[in-house]
Amino acid sequence: ILNVEQSPQSLHVQEGDSTNFTCSFPSSNFYALHWYRWETAKSPEALFVMTLNGDEKKKGRISATLNTKEGYSYLYIKGSQPEDSATYLCAPKDLVTGGGNKLTFGTGTQLKVEL
Amino acid sequence: DVKVTQSSRYLVKRTGEKVFLECVQDMDHENMFWYRQDPGLGLRLIYFSYDVKMKEKGDIPEGYSVSREKKERFSLILESASTNQTSMYLCASSMSGRGTDTQYFGPGTRLTVL
């Protein structure tokens, strides 16, 4: 089982604040990293899948960067809005644990954006 | 749009009962997954299937079995439910087994075992 750590565990910000959180994973045998957003009472939804060191992905006000050499990814949210309130999960995939696209999910960062 | 449906949103069962959780996807996906989610522990993989009648254990298979008789349907079976199986269960599917493939999740079943 991959060791995946996400920090912080939870975060409260005010509307309009920008925020970021971290996903750490083993750098050896890296293959891909997935980010998902999970809103309360809904299904987890894919945000990004990243594969290359230095990769940067963007979707609206949300962006993510990837450092495969040191084993971390940052997720940034610019100008947070209440609808960004959700748990953000990362899931790395390596080359050795096998199982196709079996993913190991982190415990997530729970973001609450207050008015 | 990919749609993954689960048979129940909420389920209450008694200790010792046999429990079936059903999942159906409508996009002809090869891979299907069952996870459970518990506070502080994140999503943990119970079993997955990469083809009809094919299955592999995930990280926490003890106390569970699965069945995939048709491509679109993946069932999770609790042979004899116990209170420590009270949890949120999520099903997911993906097009194939590539490590970059997105997993599409169902809405979850919150199971309470009394």
- What is the rounded CA–CA span in Å between residue B42 and residue B12? 22
pLDDT of residue B29: 94
Does B90 sit within 8 Å of A101, measured CB to CB?
A: no
Helices and strands: H and E segment counts in chain B = 0, 11
Tell me the torsion sign for CA atoms B19, B113, B5, B91. negative
Instruction: State how far residue A3 is from chain B, nearest Cα, in angstroms.
Output: 12
Token pair, residue A36, equals: 């998902």
Q: Is A58 exposed, middle or buried (0-12, 13-18, 19+ CB in 10 A)?
A: exposed
Name chain B contacts of A99, Cβ cutoff 8 Å.
48, 56, 97
- The alpha-carbon gap from B81 to the nearest alpha carbon of chain A, in Å, equals 24
Given pLDDT bands bounded at 50, 70 and 90, which one contains residue A1?
confident
Put simply, the answer to whether A32 touches B100 (Cβ < 8 Å) is yes
The answer to whether the Cβ–Cβ distance between B104 and A46 falls below 8 Å is yes
Place of tokens 């389920």: B11
Provide the pLDDT for residue B96. 84
- Minimum Cα–Cα distance from B104: chain A residue: A45
Between A102 and B23, the more confident residue is: B23
| Amino acid letter for position B114 | L
B43 touches chain A (CB under 8 A): yes
Q: What is the mean pLDDT of residues A29-42?
A: 93
**Mean pLDDT along residues A12-35:** 94
pLDDT tens across B61-70, in order? 999 999 999 9
Residues of B in contact with A32 (CB under 8 A): 99-100
Residue B48: its chain A contacts at CB < 8 A? Answer: 99-100, 102
Q: Give the number of other Cβ atoms within 10 Å of residue B56's Cβ.
A: 15
Which residue reads 């079936």 in tokens? B20
Q: Which residues contact B56 (CB under 8 A, 6 or more apart)?
A: A99, A102, B47, B48, B49, B50
| Contact B10/A at CB under 8 A | no
pLDDT exceeding 70 applies to what percent of chain B? Answer: 98
Question: CA-nearest residue of chain B to A41?
Answer: B107
| pLDDT tens, position by position, B25-48 | 999 999 999 999 998 888 999 999
Mean pLDDT of chain B: 94
pLDDT of residue A98: 66
Minimum CA–CA partner of A51 in chain B: B100
What is the per-residue pLDDT across A63-104, written as a single tens digit (0 to 9) for each? 999 999 999 999 999 999 999 999 999 999 988 776 677 889
Give the CA dihedral B97, B100, B101, B105, nearest 10 degrees. 110
What are the angstrom distances between the C-alpha of A92 and each of A40, A55, A73, B18?
23, 14, 10, 34
CB atoms within 10 A of CB B64: 20
Lowest mean pLDDT among A26-30, B29-33, B80-84: A26-30
What percentage of chain B carries pLDDT values higher than 90? 86
Question: Which residue is associated with the tokens 């891979």?
Answer: B31
- The minimal CB distance from B101 to the residues A1, A43, A101 is found for A101
Query: Which pLDDT does position A99 carry in this prediction?
Result: 64
